[in-house]
Each structure stands twice: as C-alpha cells, then as structure tokens.
Amino acid sequence: MHGRRKAREVALQVLYSLNFVSLDVQKALDLFWGNFIAPPEAKEFAESLVEGTWSHRAELDGLIAGCSDNWSLSRMPKVDISILRLAVFEFLYCPDIPPKVTLNEAIDLGKTFGSENSGAFINGILDAINLKLEKENASNPLD
C-alpha cells in the first residue's frame, strides 16, 4: 500500500518536528497540511498515527527503553526515536497491520531518514519489543 507508506513518512516528519517545538498535535498537523498535500486515505492514516503515537509516547518510550540495551532515549537520535515510537504504536494499537509489515516499514524509514546505522539499530530494538509483546500475548491469550 503506497498510501500507507506515504502516511508513515508524513507521520514521521510531524512526530520528529514535535520533538523540537511546543505545539499542539493538531496545530502541527495543520501546519504540515498547509504546505503539503496527500491523498485523503494517507492523510487520515497519518493523522491517526501522529495523534496516537504522541498521546501514548510515555508508554511507548517505556517499552523502547526497556528493550534498548546500553542506549538511553536521550542518547538516541530524534529521528530514530520518532520511528521507534511510530512502530511501537502500530504494534500495540493497529491490530490490522501485521508486525512484520510494521517492522519492515520502520527499517525502511530508518534507512531513508536516519543515519547509515539507523536501519539495523531500529531492527534490533523493534525485534526485541515484538518478541516481548508476543510472549506477553501468549501468556495472556484472553486479552
């Protein structure tokens, strides 16, 4: 789905910017849409990703920190943190998206927008988080 890939790119850009400016999420989205256009489906998906990821960032950061050995969030590049948050949000709150799709999309975002090491770094952390979530789901099948 090319529209979802574009939506993730938009979501990443807005989430990244929110690390540096003190703006309401809707205001940040409005500013973005004032300068860029996207198909309606991509726009809707991007907005749901941004709003959900930003509102759950404390929970997402806790999971990321718990699975990132030797890396505190303060040491991670902001773009990598934004990609990780976005992917973990999808793992937790987008049951219609297979984890493998989320993982591959996040790695691609890292390769495109991050450093030369971002893809591998993101892969390692998301793999650990996905395994942790799978174990938790296996021990709590009725949730």
Residue 82 reports pLDDT greater than 80: yes
Q: At 58, which helix (H) or strand (E)?
A: helix 57-66
Residue 116, classed as helix, strand or coil, is coil
Pairwise CA distance, residues 109 & 49, whole Å: 15
Mean pLDDT, rounded, of the chain: 92
Reported confidence tier of residue 140, pLDDT bands at 50, 70, 90: confident
**What does the pLDDT average to over 10-21?**
94
According to the model, what pLDDT value does residue 30 have?
Answer: 92
**What does the pLDDT average to over 41-62?**
95
Residue 69, classed as helix, strand or coil, is coil
Pairwise CA distance, residues 14 & 25, whole Å: 8
Question: What's the domain range around 108?
Answer: 2-139
Q: What is the pTM of this model?
A: 0.92
Residue with tokens 């929970």: 59
Reported confidence tier of residue 111, pLDDT bands at 50, 70, 90: very high
Query: What value does the CA radius of gyration of the chain take, rounded to a whole number of Å?
Result: 15
**What does the pLDDT average to over 26-54?**
93
Number of H helices, E strands in the chain: 7, 0
Contact 126, 84 (CB under 8 A): yes
Residue 139 reports pLDDT greater than 90: no
Residue 11 reports pLDDT greater than 90: yes
Residue count of the chain: 143
Pairwise CA distance, residues 63 & 91, whole Å: 11
The token duo for 20 is 């540096």
According to the model, what pLDDT value does residue 70 have?
Answer: 78
Reported confidence tier of residue 54, pLDDT bands at 50, 70, 90: very high
Q: How many domains does the chain have?
A: 1
Residue 142 reports pLDDT greater than 80: no
* CATH code: domain of residue 39: 1.10.940.10
Single-letter residue type at 28: A
